[in-house]
Amino acid sequence: MSTQTAIRRPEPTPAPQRGGFVRALGRLASAREASILLAVVIVIAVVTLKNPNFLFSPDGYRDLWLTPSLLLLVAVGQAVVLITRNVDLSVGSVLGLSAYLTGRLFIDIPGIPILAVVLLAVVFGGLLGLINGALTAFAKVPSLVITLGTMYAFRGINVLWTGSDRVNASDMPKAFLQLGTAQVLTIPVLTIIAVVLLVIVAWWMRNTRAGRECYAIGSDPGAAELYGLPVTRRVIGAFMLSGALAGFAGVLYAARYGTINSQAGSGWELDAVGAAVIGGVAIFGGSGTVWGAAIGAVLLMTINRSLPVLGVPDFWQRAVVGVLIIGAIVLDRMLAVRQHRRLIEERETKR
């Protein structure tokens, strides 16, 4: 009597699943922000090889942290507005007005607490942002047109208010001016403040309903309104946040430079837009992160500091920034088209 022996095939060993930390590293490495951060590191390395003082001197190391801090704040607010498919071209003028307001408060109200000055400047910036947001949301006029007008209007008010006068460092308290030079463990206080605010805004955009609705509005404003999202409220809120951050940057500008005239903040609006776009925030709204905008600000300011060290004339410095912005827009468009095609292919495959 014979017995049949069943031969079992060995079961395939399941592939080990990657842990959460490894998956997080994979997502980080593939993120747009990682490539921008890598570009920052490459720029610093190349310029340091050319001139070691760029990084290894006390002033060079400090400026590496300190220089992007103010633009980082303005770019974060700009990124939130861009995500809602709008743009705020008045942030430079808001910064200048807030900086001069800061100096005038110290001059006209002797002994005023520094915290009170900070709060007044932030509220002032937020009110200017409210004007931009209300005109955009209720007048149904493109924000590019509205904020272009308010950019010149706010700058004109600043020139009229300032005249030929200026605020000097001697007009402001020493404790306030020390804020612009103070350090904690070799890291400037202004940088620490900027990073803390960046983390707060990034958390708000990612984890709150209001932040996620900003992305939905930017992706398709009409659909968002039909779905019942508070489009008007979110757009106004985004402009108010941008104005408040620009106002706060104006306070830090006064502490950092000590001298404020009618041209304070001039041109910062384009740098803020450039930083956000370079950082991966879509100019057409709906995608990008404030982290990317912050890293874009660091890259932009690092390049601005690097090119003179490399002997590049001033004209080509602006040209390089322009090329970066155009390249970022083209890359963003290419990625959007590629993603659209991939979605269509997946839809056809499922049928």
Q: Give the tens place of pLDDT for each residue, 282-309.
A: 888 888 899 999 999 998 888 888 888 8
Q: What pLDDT is stored for residue 240 in this prediction?
A: 96
Kindly state the tokens that stand for 29: 């490495």
Confidence of residue 1 (pLDDT cuts 50, 70, 90): very low
Among 28-32, 60-64, 235-239, the minimum mean pLDDT is found in 28-32
pLDDT digits (tens, 9 = 90+) for 71-125: 999 999 999 999 999 999 999 999 999 999 999 999 989 889 999 999 999 999 9
CATH architecture of 34-337: Orthogonal Bundle (1.10)
Task: Give the list of residues 6+ apart from residue 100 with CB closer than 8 angstroms, or none.
Answer: 158, 161, 162, 167, 250, 260, 262, 264
Q: What pLDDT is stored for residue 63 in this prediction?
A: 84
Residue 154 to residue 165: CA distance in whole angstroms: 17
pLDDT digits (tens, 9 = 90+) for 34-55: 888 888 888 889 888 988 888 8
Confidence of residue 148 (pLDDT cuts 50, 70, 90): very high
Residue 129 to residue 124: CA distance in whole angstroms: 9
Of all residues in the chain, the percent with pLDDT exceeding 70 is 88
**Per-chain mean pLDDT for the chain:** 85
Count of positions (residues) in the chain: 351
Task: Give the list of residues 6+ apart from residue 155 with CB closer than 8 angstroms, or none.
Answer: 92, 93, 96, 262, 266
- So where are the chain's domains? 34-337
Which DSSP letter does residue 297 get? H
> For the residues 173-190, what does the mean pLDDT come to?
89
Sign, Cα dihedral of 113, 116, 122, 127: negative
More confident: 304 or 17: 304
Kindly state the tokens that stand for 27: 């997502």
Examine the pLDDT at 241 and tell me if it is beyond 90: yes
Task: Give the list of residues 6+ apart from residue 43 with CB closer than 8 angstroms, or none.
Answer: 299, 302, 303, 306
> For the residues 187-192, what does the mean pLDDT come to?
92
Q: What pLDDT is stored for residue 325 in this prediction?
A: 75
Highest mean pLDDT among 22-31, 262-271, 313-322, 336-345: 262-271
More confident: 36 or 234: 234
148-164 burial, b if ≥16 CB within 10 A, otherwise e? eebbeebbebbeeebee
Q: What pLDDT is stored for residue 220 in this prediction?
A: 86
Residue 306 to residue 321: CA distance in whole angstroms: 12
Say how many CA atoms lie within 13 Å of 164 toward its Cβ.
0
Confidence of residue 2 (pLDDT cuts 50, 70, 90): very low
Identify which of 58, 88, 228 has the alpha carbon closest to the alpha carbon of residue 149: 88
